[in-house]
């Protein structure tokens, strides 16, 4: 069972934890620098990226977050999490960690009322749920596009970072989380109901 953390300072972290538990991972909610010490994976969830940046700074999480990424630990960043890691953020411009070689525009799919569901362009049919989602406007040469919607990249990977403009945790499809962190086998005792 892998020990996966979910940044839990603000935003939609609880649903990510639920998906990871369903994949039989040990999940921790990350709110302090010491919480990074034993992680084998990390989710940066959706929410409000400017608030998350402020809280990451206030709680002293920037250094351990950067060190975790540098160690090559798998990271899944969704919506606001992608904004935190992008190289360049526009509309409006804001600071970011620059750990992922993409540029993006915030809230480019529309405001909260413009939220919608769709499917990726390929036959894989990955469900996409967009809520005030960013749009990727440039993909660097070492970034792999894993899924597109209407030709635009919506799921990308560079080294140990996988990032989505949409919210995979809100669908009933665990494929994004499973692709990043794997599926853990349950102990034999978990396969049988007691009594």
Catalytic machinery residues = 79, 167, 169
- β-pairing, 152-158 vs 144-149, is antiparallel
Tell me the sheet residues that pair with 3.
Answer: 26
Cα(192)–Cα(122) distance, integer angstroms? 38
Q: Which of 137, 126, 134 is nearest to 165 (CA)?
A: 134
Residue 95, burial from CB neighbour count under 10 angstroms (0-12, 13-18, 19+): exposed
Cis peptide bond upstream of 18, omega within 30? no
């Amino acid at each position: 069972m892998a020990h996966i953390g979910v940044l839990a300072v603000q935003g939609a972290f609880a649903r990510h934890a639920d998906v990871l538990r369903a994949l039989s991972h040990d999940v921790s909610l990350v709110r302090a620098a010491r919480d990074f010490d034993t992680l084998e994976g990390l989710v940066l969830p959706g929410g409000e990226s400017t608030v998350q940046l402020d809280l990451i700074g206030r709680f002293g999480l920037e250094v351990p977050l950067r060190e975790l990424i540098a160690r090559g630990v798998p990271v899944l960043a969704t919506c606001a999490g992608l904004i935190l890691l992008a190289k360049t953020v526009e509309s409006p411009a804001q600071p970011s960690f620059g750990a992922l070689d993409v540029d993006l525009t915030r809230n480019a799919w529309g405001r909260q009322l413009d939220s919608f569901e769709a499917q990726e362009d390929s036959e894989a049919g990955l469900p996409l749920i967009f809520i005030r989602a960013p749009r990727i406007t440039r993909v660097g040469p070492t970034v792999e596009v894993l899924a597109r919607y209407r030709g635009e990249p919506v799921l990308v990977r560079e080294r140990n970072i996988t990032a989505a403009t949409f919210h995979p945790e809100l669908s009933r499809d665990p494929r994004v989380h499973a692709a990043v962190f794997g599926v853990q086998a349950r102990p034999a005792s978990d396969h049988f109901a007691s009594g």
